[in-house]
Amino acid sequence: MCRLLAYLGSPISLAPLLWGPEHSLIVQSYQPQEMLSGVVNADGFGLGWYHAQRDTEPFTYKNTLPIWNDINLPNISRYVESGCVLGYVRSATPGQGLDFSNCQPFKYERLLFTHNGRIHKFQETLYRPIRNLLSDEIYQLIGGTTDSEHIFALLLNQWLANPGKSLEQALHTTLITLTELAQRYQTDVSANAIISDGHRLIASRFSTKSPAPSLYWIANDPTFPQSVIIASEPLFAGNWTSCPENSIISVKEDRDIRIEQI
């Protein structure tokens, strides 16, 4: 299982977010505390962020190296400044390739998407059924082989086919669809996901089989004032709140937080 991180708030450089906390995303790559499977997250990493002043499509930086082995990241993280950041470190499901096409965050226009979890025996169970639900446009966007990218494709399919739907509603419908498919094909799905358009964060803590992977949020901590952080594990000592199982967490641009049970 992977470890996720999302930040929404006053623009900051990536350095204090990635390197500063005592249990930072980098530390979680080699010393995670709450993973349900796997030992380390050494199968690559990725970052996505939005320009602090201009309303443009997001930027991404990815590598198949462990995050602690990337010699460019310390310099990049001191240079880049953003008010909306998504990141993850990867623990690859056995059988899934370690290449850039399988690195998150996945991107579509202004959207960034990260996922922690898995579809059990994905290739043998939901790989084809999910693809059968996709429009040709979304089908052609899939570049890798991961269950994560297919979940994102299913979400995009729901969202683009129903222009009146919010991202929260599209995510809700996607998770219900995955539940129905899991029941039909006798498998399990865990889907902690974070989506952003640069102005808000939408996250889920979800699993068809308890317990769901861990997910927390914290708002306006003195270390990171005027911000909301969502993470697989707390980055530092503070007033972190565990997200309820099978829920969707919505963080608006004004950092108002709403939680909806699925």
Q: So where are the chain's domains?
A: 3-261
**Is 84 considered catalytic here?**
no
Q: For domain 3-261, give its CATH number from 3.40.190.10, 3.40.50.300, 3.60.20.10, 3.40.50.970.
A: 3.60.20.10
Give the global pTM: 0.96
Helix (H) or strand (E) holding 37: none
Question: Distance between CA atoms of 132 and 246, rounded to whole angstroms?
Answer: 25
The full DSSP string for 46-96 is EEEE--SSS----EEEEESS-GGG-TTHHHHHHH-EEEEEEEEE--PPTTS
Cβ proximity of 91 and 190 under 8 Å = no
| pLDDT, position 38 | 78
Which tokens hold the place of 245?
A: 């199982």
Alpha helices in 117-214 (DSSP H): 127-132, 136-141, 147-161, 167-184
Q: In which band, very low, low, confident or very high, does the pLDDT at 92 lie, cut at 50, 70 and 90?
A: confident
- The per-residue pLDDT for range 34-46, each reduced to its tens digit, is 988 778 888 899 9
Cβ proximity of 4 and 192 under 8 Å = yes
The dihedral built from the CA positions of residue 40, 45, 51 and 56, taken in this order, carries a sign that is negative
Give the strand pairing for 241-242 and 45-49: unpaired
Q: In which band, very low, low, confident or very high, does the pLDDT at 96 lie, cut at 50, 70 and 90?
A: low
Give the strand pairing for 106-108 and 111-119: antiparallel
Q: How many CA atoms lie within 13 A of 33 on its CB side?
A: 13
**Cβ count within 10 A of residue 31:** 11
From its phi and psi, is residue 105 left (phi > 0), alpha (psi between -120 and 50) or beta? beta
| pLDDT, position 95 | 63
Q: What is the mean pLDDT of residues 247-256?
A: 96
Query: Out of 84-93, 116-125, 226-235, which region has the weakest mean confidence (pLDDT)?
Result: 84-93
Catalytic residue among 2, 84, 103, 243: 2
Angle at alpha carbon of residue 233, lines to 231 and 237, rounded to 5°: 105
Percent of the chain predicted with pLDDT > 70? 98
